[in-house]
Amino acid sequence: MSGSLGAWEMIVSGDATLYAIVRLSLAVSLSAVAIAVLIGLPLGAVLALTRFRARTALIVLLNGFMGLPPVVVGLTVFLLLSRSGPLGVFGILFTPLAMVIAQALLVVPIIASLSRQTIEDLWHEYRDELTAMNVGPVGRMSTLLWDSRFSLLTALLAAFGRAAAEVGTVMIVGGNIDGFTRTMTTTIALETSKGNLPLAMGLGIILIALIVAINAAAWGIRVWSEQRAG
């Protein structure tokens, strides 16, 4: 990436490297959120709807983990995935997959905690009605997930925002390899260290614009569907 070009010129001229970086950032963070949803939503739903001994402890733990330090997550994943680590045989350190895993770990607590809260609130409201209608556990869970979909979307956005904005974990487990694991945030860090502050700032503005645009789109979808579904 040529440092002499400004970030805006790169957007306008359709700089291939820049677009590859943006694409990779989105693919990594969206995949991480998708995986975290598969783990976090059922976890949140189970915590909301069941009562067991370790439940409170688990809820407190998950709430605390919403603020997991990215560097610690990165280091943990690094040690696990390193050739010398327990999962080293798979050879996925310094690949996009490693970044997806690290970001997913980072945002699972966000999705699980926020969805537990949302589902539990709705369950308090629906409990009598669903019990009166004799709806079983599976039906309850799917009804609650479906009916709280707009609030859950907010949880997903929070998770995506954190995943896309973080630099500590992807730097450690991805290695910031040019054209392979270089994301928007690691590029910003690199350009800053090269003293190329205008380009770094320009990339930062693109990143913020992307996150705002995705939030705005989700907000639009929410308003539009709420008008139809209430």
Partner 1 sequence: MSSDLPVQFEGVSVQAGSTVILDDVNLSIAPGQPTMVIGPNGSGKTTLLRLCMGLSVPTTGRITWGGRDALRPGRLAMLFQRPVMLRRSVADNITYGLAKAGLSRKQRLARMEQVLSRVGLLELAGRPARRLSGGEQQRVALARALAREPELLLLDEPTASLDPAATRAVEDIITMAAQSGIKIVMASHDLGQVRRLAGEVAFLVRGRLCERAAATDFFDRPSTREAAAFVRGDLVI
Partner 2 sequence: MNRRLFSAFAALALLFAGSATAVAQDKSIVVASTTSTQDSGLFDYLLPLFKTKTGIDVKVIAQGTGQALDTARRGDADVVFVHAKAQEEKFLSEGFGVKRYDVMYNDFVLIGPKSDPAGVKGTKDITAAFEAIRAKQAPFVSRGDKSGTHSAELKLWKEAGIDIDAAKGEWYRDIGQGMGAALNTAGAMNAYVLSDRGTWLSFKNRGDLEVVVEGDKRLFNQYGVMLVNPEKFSTVKADLGQSFIDYLVSEDGQKAISEYKIDGQQLFFPNAARDPS
Taking alpha carbons only, the member of 158, 180, 162 closest to residue 24 is 180
Which option in partner 1, partner 2, none does residue 68 bind, with CB closer than 5 to 8 A by kind?
none
Which option in partner 2, partner 1, none does residue 133 bind, with CB closer than 5 to 8 A by kind?
partner 1
Which option in partner 2, partner 1, none does residue 72 bind, with CB closer than 5 to 8 A by kind?
none
In the complex, the residues that contact partner 2 under the rule CB under 8 A are: 3, 27-28, 30-31, 33-35, 37, 82-85, 88, 91, 93-97, 100, 145-146, 149, 152-153, 175-178, 180-181, 190, 192-197, 221, 225
134 binds partner 1 (CB under 8 A): yes
Which positions from 87 through 126 interact with partner 1, judged by CB under 8 A? 125-126
Q: Which is closer to partner 1, CB of 13 or CB of 225? A: 225
Count of CB atoms situated within 10 Å of the CB of 186: 21
- Residue pair 97/141 in contact (Cβ under 8 Å)? The answer is no
Count of CB atoms situated within 10 Å of the CB of 19: 12
The size of the interface with partner 1 (CB under 8 A), counted in residues, is: 19
CB of 84 to partner 2, least distance (A): 4
The encoded tokens of residue 25 equal 């950032």
Taking alpha carbons only, the member of 11, 98, 110 closest to residue 68 is 110
Stretch that binds partner 1, among 44-52, 57-65, 146-154, 206-214 (CB under 8 A): 146-154
Q: Which is closer to partner 1, CB of 12 or CB of 133? A: 133
CB of 141 to partner 1, least distance (A): 14
Which positions from 187 through 226 interact with partner 1, judged by CB under 8 A? 226
CB of 49 to partner 2, least distance (A): 17
82 binds partner 1 (CB under 8 A): no
CB of 229 to partner 1, least distance (A): 5
The residues binding partner 1 (CB under 8 A) are: 125-126, 128-129, 131-135, 139, 143, 147-148, 150, 226-230
